[in-house]
Structure formats: C-alpha cells, structure tokens
C-alpha cells in the first residue's frame, strides 16, 4: 500500500477514535500527504526505503523540524530547524511523521496525566491511565493510527505505557540512539525509545536509529552453550501487585519454560532499593539542571501552563545538598555490583513491567504515591546502565493488558529481543477478502507480525457479497443450507494483534467464528446482514480474488 494511502487511512482513523489528547502538534493533513507523495516517488524511482509507508509519531520532547517542541509545556515551546537524529534516520528510511504527541510534562512521570493538554487515557480502557511519560506515543500505536512512535525513557517511560496499552517498547542501551534534539529529563540517564505493535517492527526501527555510541564495549559475561537462562525473583519479592498480576506473571514464566528457557532464582533487593533512589535520592537533582531555571522563572510569573506536581518535583530538587549526591553515587555503585552479581550468567531478568494499572481517579487521588509504585521495576534500569525490552504477555483475569520486561547488561539488546520472542502468544485468523495475500489490506496483517499459515476454503455454509466500500471488500455471511465453500487464508498472528485489528474494524464488518472445510473453526471477518442490501452475490466465483480478477476496475 502506498504511503499516501496509509496517511489518508491514518487521518480517517484519527477522526474515528476521537482522542485529541494524544497530540500536541498534529500536522495538517495536506502537509503529511505531500511528504507521503514524496516517499512514494522516491520508492518508485528505485530508492531503497525499507520503512516506506510506515507512519511515525514523535514524543513532544523530541525535535521534529517545523513543529514546536514543547516538552508538554506551551511556554517552553521552540521550533527546531532540524529533526533530532532519531527522527531524521527514520524519515530517511521512508517513515512519514504525523505529528508530536502528548506527554507527562518535561517527561516527569509514569502516569500520562501530568499535562496541560489533558490526561491521555488508556487505549483499551479510557477509565485507566495510559502510562507516561510517553503517553501519546504509546496510545497512537495501540489505536492503530501509526506504526511506530518515539518516546523517551529515564525511569520507565518507554516501557510502562507499552505494558498498559498492549504494545512493544524497546529501551536500548544508553547512548545507542543519540539524544541530540531531545529536551533532557536527566541527561545522564535519558534514552530514546521506540514503540510498535510487534517486536520485528520495533527492532527494525531501532536498527535505523542506532549509531556507534562512542562508548567502549564492556566485556560481557562469557555465555556457556545451552538454553536461554532467565533470572526470576521469588514472587514474595515483587511486593504488592494488582489482583491477577501475579498469576499473569507466573504464566509468562511458564511460557518461557515451555519454549525451552532455563529459569533460575534471583534476589531482587538491589534492583528495588536502587529504584527507590531515583526520586527519593539526589539523582532527581538532574531534573532541576535540565529545566529548573525555566520552571523557577515561569513560577515567579504565575506558573501558567505548569503542571503543579511536575513543578513541585523539579523545584524541590533544587535544594538537594551536593554531599547527598556523592553518598548516593557510592551507594548506587554498591547496589549495581550486587545486581550484576545476581544476574551472573543469566541472559536476562524477567519482571512485570509494572505492579498494576491504576485508574485516572486513583492517580488523581494520590499522584505521587501512584507514580512511585509504577516505577518499582523500571526505575533501576538506567541507573544500572542496563538494556530492556517490554512486551505484551497476555491479559489479566480482569481482561487488562499485561506486560513483562526482559532486562540485561548494556549492549545485550539483540539478545533480549530474541528471548522476548518466546513470550509471544499467537492466535489464528481466517480472511476471505481485502486481507488476503496481495490485496490492499494485507499490509495490516503483515505490520502486526502475521504470517500465512495455509490456504483453504470455508465449509459450504456461506455466501459472499461484493460491498460498496473503499477499498473494495466482500461480505461473508453464514447461511447454512444453500451456502458454498469460499476461498480463505488462515494467518497466525500475535494474540494482541487480533485485538488491535478488531479495535480498528469498520462497520459493517464484524469478528466471528468461521467454519473451515476441515471442520475446524477460526476467528475471522464476517458481515452484518443488514449491509447486504444491494450488494451483489458473488459466491459463484469461489472467492474474492477470482471475482477481482474478472472485475479489475471495480
């Protein structure tokens, strides 16, 4: 599908989901279309553009040329002349930027509610938070508006929103992706991160954004041959979790074991003790270094546009004594030594990404306490100079998305992604129309990491009708007696991918159970009977592709 078609579909999707709080700077549609036309022309001319047609959203503290960089504070805004390197590299590969996204102001928070542009609600449950600070970026991906989105991660902002919205979040080794053109939160800890609906998409984007870090590659532990070794702490050390969270985590552990991984115990204490230091200790002073003088000035002028919680965190950091920083650095070094010793020869540490998923009301009632709880497992990662990947790991008994992290030493990014693939649950989907191989909507399946399982036919109990839609698609209806077999493809895709397809499914299409010729039943796209009035019955062609080949101009 052309980049131009993808852009047009994205703006239609933006209107359909009606989530204005996602965006700070949404580009005018004509401007995005013009960029897409340029990408299509470059691709047609033979230029290698591996991300051609991919749509990108960028967190509002990362520079996009011509769009204001606000970091979630309108008074802070400036308009950069050039893209940040991470943005420029994705654009050079063919990605089209739709706009800049909402965030916890100055990237200070894990909740996604600390913004004068409004709280970003969860993609799947609008009564719950989306997670921060990269809230708008994560929700734009989860709602199927964009394929990729950039965030930042200092305390977990590239991972907590991924978990809450059922998507992938890659937090690379510090320095692997340049932070030039990024408004700093804590400059020594900040990382540019990427969100995607699938792990392969996120890995591909990271590969284009990354560059030599300028750091000397540290000696990594020698890995003896054998299965992946994953460190897992005792459940009691995870602390208080939301109802069903422990069971979901244990299911993820069992999935790794079933995939052949070897699980070994680990003492989580140095990780959780370091996590508490990020905001309770002297390291938060670096946030004042980043934007403190601006916050002080704006506060003196009345504080218009400042989030009070963010302003309080930053201004309190001004008065931390220097001797506390040295004491905290010494303690952190000791904790890091203990943490790396605990990892020992393990390839990764598996943790829940967050201990629970609060509602908007719960965060409003206790903004500092709720935020501190959310960072229990994520805060220590950058303090210890570790890499991490956050991936979906099913649902809780209450139906909420549940996510886990795999954490490992710096520069083990690729290893962590390989282990994470073992956690991907899959489901099947039967398609009979525009999602078939080579048809206009097939890229939607491919973007979710789907792969073709087999080509078959339905049971002889269906009729197929040509609907007047754009792009053209058929409507499949179950009629029982008087039906016929219809060509179908069965695709395997990540389980959460099916949910994302359903969230974006336009009427009159519905998701139901399709009977196949071998007697099995698979989820698939059906049609509301009321939409068939005036839609010609094309069952005699045996399938959508045969019909399209006979009516190419339809």
For residue 120, the 8-state DSSP code is P
Those residues with Cβ within 8 angstroms of residue 216's Cβ, 6 or more apart along the chain or in another chain: none
Is residue 135 flagged as an active site residue?
Answer: no
Annotated active-site residue in 157, 380, 422, 447: 157
**Is the separation of the CB atoms in 61 and 102 below 8 Å?**
no
Q: Is 349 helix (H, G, I), strand (E, B) or coil?
A: strand
Largest CA distance in the chain: 83
Helix, strand and coil content of the chain, in percent to the nearest 5, comes to 40, 20, 40
Q: Which entry of 54, 59, 380, 473 is annotated as an active-site residue?
A: 59
Known catalytic membership, residue 297:
no
Q: Angle, to 10 degrees, between the axis of helix 199-209 and the axis of helix 413-420?
A: 170
Choose the catalytic residue: 130, 133, 134, 447.
Answer: 133
- Nearest CA-CA partner of 551 in 470, 538, 458: 538
The C-alpha atoms of residue 229 and residue 337 are separated, in whole angstroms, by 20
**Length reported for the chain:** 554
For residues 11 and 6, what is the distance between their CA atoms, to the nearest angstrom?
9
- Residue 471: asked if its preceding bond is cis (omega within 30°), the reply is yes
What number of other Cβ atoms are within 10 A of residue 220's Cβ?
Answer: 12
| CB-based contact 287:310 (threshold 8 Å) | no
Contacts of 437 (CB under 8 A, 6+ apart): 452, 489
Mark whether 59 is an active-site residue: yes
95 closest CA partner among 201, 177, 168: 201
Q: Can you tell me whether residue 409 is helix, strand or coil? A: strand
Q: Kindly list the catalytic residues.
A: 59, 133, 157
């Amino acid at each position: 599908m052309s980049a131009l078609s993808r852009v047009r579909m994205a703006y239609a999707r933006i209107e359909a989901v009606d989530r204005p709080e996602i965006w700070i700077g949404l580009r005018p549609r004509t401007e995005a279309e013009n960029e897409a036309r340029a990408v299509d022309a470059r691709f047609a001319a033979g230029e290698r553009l591996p991300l051609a047609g991919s749509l990108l959203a960028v967190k509002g503290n990362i520079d996009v040329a011509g769009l204001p960089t606000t970091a979630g504070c309108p008074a802070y805004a400036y308009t950069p002349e050039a893209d940040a390197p991470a943005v420029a590299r994705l654009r050079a590969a063919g990605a089209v930027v739709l706009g800049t996204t909402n965030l916890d102001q100055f990237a200070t928070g894990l909740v996604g509610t600390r913004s004068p542009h409004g709280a970003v609600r969860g993609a799947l449950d609008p009564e719950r938070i989306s997670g921060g600070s990269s809230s708008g970026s994560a929700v734009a991906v989860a709602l199927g508006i964009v394929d990729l989105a950039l965030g930042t991660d200092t305390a977990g902002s590239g991972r907590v929103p991924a978990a809450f919205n059922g998507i992938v979040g890659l937090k690379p080794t510090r320095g692997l992706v340049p932070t030039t053109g990024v408004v700093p939160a804590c400059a020594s800890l900040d990382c540019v991160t990427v969100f995607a609906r699938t792990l392969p998409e996120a890995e591909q984007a990271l590969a284009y954004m990354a560059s030599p870090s300028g750091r000397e590659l540290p000696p990594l532990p020698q890995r003896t041959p054998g299965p992946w070794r994953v460190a897992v702490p005792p459940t009691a050390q995870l602390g208080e979790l939301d109802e069903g969270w422990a069971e979901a985590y244990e299911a993820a552990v069992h999935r790794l074991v079933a995939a052949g991984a070897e699980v070994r115990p680990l003492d989580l204490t140095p990780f959780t003790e370091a996590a508490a230091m990020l905001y309770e200790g002297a390291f938060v002073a670096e946030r004042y270094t980043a934007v403190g003088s601006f916050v002080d000035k704006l506060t003196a002028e009345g504080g218009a546009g400042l989030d009070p919680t963010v302003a309080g965190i930053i201004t309190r950091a001004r008065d931390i004594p220097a001797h506390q920083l040295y004491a905290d650095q010494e303690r952190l070094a000791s904790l890091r030594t203990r943490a790396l010793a605990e990892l020992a020869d393990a390839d990764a540490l598996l943790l829940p990404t967050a201990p629970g998923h609060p509602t908007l009301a719960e965060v409003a009632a206790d903004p500092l306490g709720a935020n501190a709880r959310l960072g229990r497992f994520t805060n220590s990662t950058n303090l210890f100079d570790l890499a991490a990947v956050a991936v979906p790991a099913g649902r809780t008994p209450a139906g909420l998305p549940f996510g886990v992290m795999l954490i490992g030493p710096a520069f083990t990014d690729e290893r962590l992604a390989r282990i994470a693939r073992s956690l991907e649950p899959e489901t099947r989907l039967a398609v009979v129309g525009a999602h078939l191989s080579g048809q206009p909507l097939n890229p939607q399946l491919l973007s979710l990491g789907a792969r073709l399982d087999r080509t078959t036919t339905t049971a002889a109990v269906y009729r197929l009708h040509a609907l007047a839609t754009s792009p053209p698609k058929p409507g499949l209806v179950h009629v029982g007696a008087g039906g016929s077999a219809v060509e179908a493809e069965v695709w395997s895709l990540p389980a959460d991918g099916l949910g994302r397809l359903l969230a974006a499914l336009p009427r009159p299409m519905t998701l139901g159970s399709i009977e196949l010729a071998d007697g099995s039943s698979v989820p698939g796209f059906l049609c509301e009977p009321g939409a068939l009035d005036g839609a010609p019955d094309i069952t005699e062609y045996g399938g959508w592709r045969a019909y399209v080949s006979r009516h190419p101009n339809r």
